[in-house]
Structure 1
Amino acid sequence: MKTCRVFLVLILCTAVVLGGTGCWDQTELNKASMVTGMALEPGDNMKYKVTFEIVNALETDPNKGGKGGTPTVIFSKEGNSIAEATQRINENLERMILISHFRVIIIDERLARKGINQFMDVLQRNRYVREDVIVLVGKGAPASDFLKTVYARGLYAGYKIQTQVETYRKVYGGVPRSHLFDIAQALLTEGRGLLLGAITISGDVEKSESLDAIKTISPAAVVKMAGAAVFRGDKLIGYLSNEHTRMVMLAGDYVNNTLFAIPGPGGKQTSPGGIDVQFYHMHAHMHVKMNGDKPKIVVNIQGDGKITSIDRNMKLTTIKGYETIEQMTSNYVNEQMQETVSYVQKKFGLDVFGFGQHYYRYHFRKFKPIAKEWNSLFTRADVEVKSNFTLRRPDLKTQKVEKEQIGP
C-alpha cells in the first residue's frame, strides 16, 4: 500500500512538472522584429551609435507578396555603451528586436583605429549573438551607410553582404576569415596578427537609399570588397589589397579555388600573350625555423588547375606545352608571394601570415624566449616560396582559334 502511494505521488509530480514547463524569457514572433545587420560607429552626442537593419516582414513574406515597400528598415540609436544603445532602440521601434539571426556586423574604421576590444566583449558575451557571424570593417564611409544600400534583387543588405563575402572567398580567396570567433582566436594566439575583411562603397549612397534605386539597371551605389583590415593588437593600422589578401590567405592554406592571370612576355598585366589558369584543390604548408638570429621560412604551394584563356600560340597537344605553362605559373605565384611578404614586412612590420603561430605550435620551447620580439624578427625573415602546379586540362580547346596563312 505504501509503495502504491509513493508511485501515485511520483506520477502526480511528473504530471505537474511536465504541465508547467515553459520558457521564462520567450518572445512571440509577431511581437518581435528580426535584425539582419548591425553597424557600429562613433556617436555624435554619445560614445557609440548603433544601427540595426530590421526585416520588413510584410515585404519578405512570399505568401502575401509584399506591397511595394522596402525589404528592410534602418533604425539607429546612440549610447555610451553598445548594450545601452541597443536597449534604447525601442525609443524609435515599437517591437522587441531579435539579434540571434543577424548576418553581419560592420565596424566603422574610426572605431577600429581606437581599438575593438572596448566593445567586442558585449558581442562575445551575449548568448544570442552567434560565434559565426561575419565581422567586417567599413572603409571610407560611415558603417551605417553599408546597411542603407538598396539592391535591385530586393535582398536586404546584411544577407547580400554575407553572401558576397562567402562567395568571393570561395571563388577568389581575396578576403580573410572574419567571423566573431576568429577575432578571439587571433587576439589570443601567439605569432599572428588579426585580419578582418574590409568593404567599401562605390557610388552615391543617398540615391541608393531611395526605393527607386531598385528599379534601375545600374545600381546607384554598390558595396565592394576591399581586401583586409590589418590590426596590431586590437587597433586598426591599415589595409591590404584584394590581391595581397589572397596571397596571405594562400600561405595559410585558406584558399581552395582561385584564378591567376599570368602576364605576357612584357611582364605587365596589359602585355599581350597572357594566360589565365583556374586552380582548384589548392594546398599550402609552411616550415619555420631559426637560422641564427633571424627566421628561415619556406612556403610550399600545390594545386591542380585548367587553362581558361590563352593569348598566344602554344602547343597544348604535347606534354612540353603544359610543362611550360606550369613553370610560368609557378614563377608568377612565387613572385607574387615574395612581393606580398616583402610589402607586409616593410609596411606593417607585423606577421599576419601566421608564421609565428606555426613556430609556436611546433617549436614552443624555442618560440617562448622570442615571443615578444617575433614581429621584429619577422621583418628580417628570409622567406622562400616553392610552387608545384599541375594542369589537368585545357577545357574545351587545345589550340587558340587562329587562321593560318596560305601561300608564301
Structure 2
Amino acid sequence: MARKAGWCFVIVLMLVPLITGCWNRRELNDLAIVAALGIDRVKDKFLVTVQVVDPGEVASRQGSSGLSPVLTYHGIGDTVFEAVRKMTTVTPRKLYFSHLRVFIIGEELAREGMGEALDLMSRDQEGRTDFYIVVAKGTTAENVLKVLTPIEKIPASKMFDSLEVSERSWAPTVAVQLDELITNIVSPGIQATLTGVVIQGDPELGSKRKNVETPATPVHLQYKGIAMFREDKLIAWMNEDESKGFSNITDRLNSTVVKVACPRGGKLAIEVIRSKTAIKAKVRDGKPEAEVVMHTEANVADVECKIKLTTATTLFDLEKATEDALKMHAEKAVKKAQRLKCDIFGFGDAIHRANPRYWSKAKENWDQQFSKMDIRFNVDVKIRRIGTIGESFLNDMKE
C-alpha cells in the first residue's frame, strides 16, 4: 500500500511542471492594447487605423502631462491582416485586440461591401465579439479615430458608452455587435443595420489637444442615423423619425421622447419609459401580411403650454396623440424599407416561423414580396404619471 502511494506521489511531482504556467501567455509590457479599430477603402486597398491606449497617461495620478492618452497607427495592405501586420514597422509593441471596444467602418467601404473587412474579426482566435460596430457617416474611420473627446480619456470608451446610453434613452441608434451583424447579413429573412457616427466640426482641429481644453468642445463625435444594408452593402440612411420607428418595430426601444402638440398651441414632451413590441405574421390567400403590436407606458415629462393634466379627457387625448406619433415613426420606417425592398425588421423571419412551407418558396425573392406586404400597426399607450406638481404653473400666468 505504501509502495503504491509512493508511486502516486512521484507521478504527481512529474505532472506539476506540465500544469503550471500558461503556454500562450503574453506580457503586458509587450502588448499595445487596441481600443478602437477603423477600416477604410483606399483605391483597391484597405487602410486600417487603430487607436492604442497609452497606459501611462490613462493611469497617471499626477495630472495631465499634455500628452494624448491614446495613439493612432495606420497600415495599408491588399488584405486587412496584411495592413495590421504592416503596422509592426511603426508600433513598439504587438497589437492586441482582445479589449476592442468599437469597430468603425468607413462609409465608402460600407457602400462597396464590408464582408471582407469583417472576416478577420470573426476569424481571430484571440479576439472577442462584444465590441460595437458603427459606420463613419460622411467621413472616414481614420478621421473619426483622430478626434479626442472630453470626460472619457479614451475616445473608444466614450463611443462605446455613448452608444449604449443613446440606445437606452433616446432610441434612434442601435448597438450592434459582430455576431448579430454577421447573422443579419447572411440570413434571408432580415437585413443588417448599423448606427452612423459623424464628426461635428473640423476633423483636423478635433485631433489636437486643444479640443478637450475648453468647456465648449469645438469638435465632437455624434451618433446620427441608422444605416440600412442589403447583405454587406450600405444602401441608404434613415433619419431620426425613421430610426425611432425602426427601434420600436424591432423591440429595441426602451425609452425615448415623443413631442405632442397642445390643443391651444405650444408643445408637450412625453417620455416613453417602457415599450414592448410583437410582430404577428401570417399568410392569407397566398400573400404575407403582418400586424405590429406595440404596448407602451409613458410619463408626462415637459409641459410648455397651458393644459389641464388632471382631467381624464386630457390624458386620453395625450395618449391618443402619442399613439399617433409612434405609429407615424413606424410607418415612415416601413415605407422607406419597402420602397428600397430591404427588410431590416425581420418580417421574413416572422413569416418563416409562422408558415415554414410558404417561406421555403418565398425566401428566394423575399425582397420583392416584402415591398408589397400589408403591414398594420396596433399601438396602445398608457400614461402612468404626470409629474410631482400636477398642473403646470403656466396655467396661472396671464396671457
TM-score by length of 1: 0.92
Compared with structure 1, are the counterparts of its residues 33 and 64 closer, same or farther at alpha carbon in structure 2 (3 Å cutoff)?
farther
Q: What is residue 227 of structure 1 aligned with on the other side? A: 225
Runs (4 or more) in structure 1 with deviation over 6 Å come to none
Aligned ranges for residues 238-317 of structure 1 at < 5 Å? 238-264=236-262, 272-317=265-310
Task: Give 1:232 deviation, angstroms.
Answer: 0.6
Task: Give 1:265 deviation, angstroms.
Answer: 5.7
Q: What is residue 72 of structure 1 aligned with on the other side? A: 70
Are 2:79 and 1:86 aligned?
Answer: no
Q: What is residue 269 of structure 1 aligned with on the other side? A: none
CA contact (8 A) 2:260 2:318 kept: no
CA contact (8 A) 1:297 1:383 kept: yes
Q: Deviations over 1:238-280 (max 9, x none)?
A: 11123212211211111111111123569xxxxx432211011
Task: Give 1:15 deviation, angstroms.
Answer: 2.2
Q: What is residue 399 of structure 1 aligned with on the other side? A: 391
Q: What is residue 53 of structure 1 aligned with on the other side? A: 51
Q: What is residue 358 of structure 2 aligned with on the other side? A: 366
Matches of 2:182 and 2:277 in 1, distance apart?
24
Q: What is residue 342 of structure 2 aligned with on the other side? A: 350
Compared with structure 1, are the counterparts of its residues 404 and 174 closer, same or farther at alpha carbon in structure 2 (3 Å cutoff)?
closer
Task: Give 1:19 deviation, angstroms.
Answer: 2.8
* SS, match of residue 277 in structure 1: strand
Q: What is residue 177 of structure 2 aligned with on the other side? A: 179
Task: Give 1:57 deviation, angstroms.
Answer: 1.3
Task: Give 1:222 deviation, angstroms.
Answer: 1.3
Is there any run of 5+ residues in structure 2 with no aligned partner, and where?
A: none
Is there any run of 5+ residues in structure 1 with no aligned partner, and where?
A: 267-271
* Paired AA for residue 55 in structure 2: A
CA contact (8 A) 2:164 2:175 kept: no
Matches of 2:94 and 2:197 in 1, distance apart?
29
Task: Give 1:39 deviation, angstroms.
Answer: 0.5
Matches of 1:89 and 1:112 in 2, distance apart?
23
Matches of 1:7 and 1:58 in 2, distance apart?
52
* SS, match of residue 371 in structure 1: helix
Matches of 1:139 and 1:215 in 2, distance apart?
26
CA RMSD of aligned residues (A): 2.0
Matches of 2:209 and 2:120 in 1, distance apart?
34
Q: What is residue 323 of structure 1 aligned with on the other side? A: 316
Q: What is residue 334 of structure 2 aligned with on the other side? A: 341
Matches of 1:231 and 1:10 in 2, distance apart?
62
Task: Give 1:89 deviation, angstroms.
Answer: 1.3
* SS, match of residue 172 in structure 2: coil
Task: Give 1:293 deviation, angstroms.
Answer: 4.9
Q: What is residue 203 of structure 2 aligned with on the other side? A: 205
CA contact (8 A) 1:43 1:79 kept: no
* Paired AA for residue 26 in structure 2: T
CA contact (8 A) 1:190 1:360 kept: no
Matches of 2:262 and 2:396 in 1, distance apart?
22
Compared with structure 1, are the counterparts of its residues 88 and 385 closer, same or farther at alpha carbon in structure 2 (3 Å cutoff)?
same
Q: Deviations over 1:338-374 (max 9, x none)?
A: 222112212x211111111111123212211111122
Q: What is residue 368 of structure 2 aligned with on the other side? A: 376
CA contact (8 A) 1:227 1:243 kept: no
| Match of residue 154, structure 2, among 148, 153, 156 | 156
| Match of residue 126, structure 1, among 105, 124, 127 | 124
Percent identity reads 22
CA contact (8 A) 2:306 2:395 kept: no
Q: Deviations over 1:324-343 (max 9, x none)?
A: 21111112222222222112
Task: Give 1:150 deviation, angstroms.
Answer: 0.9
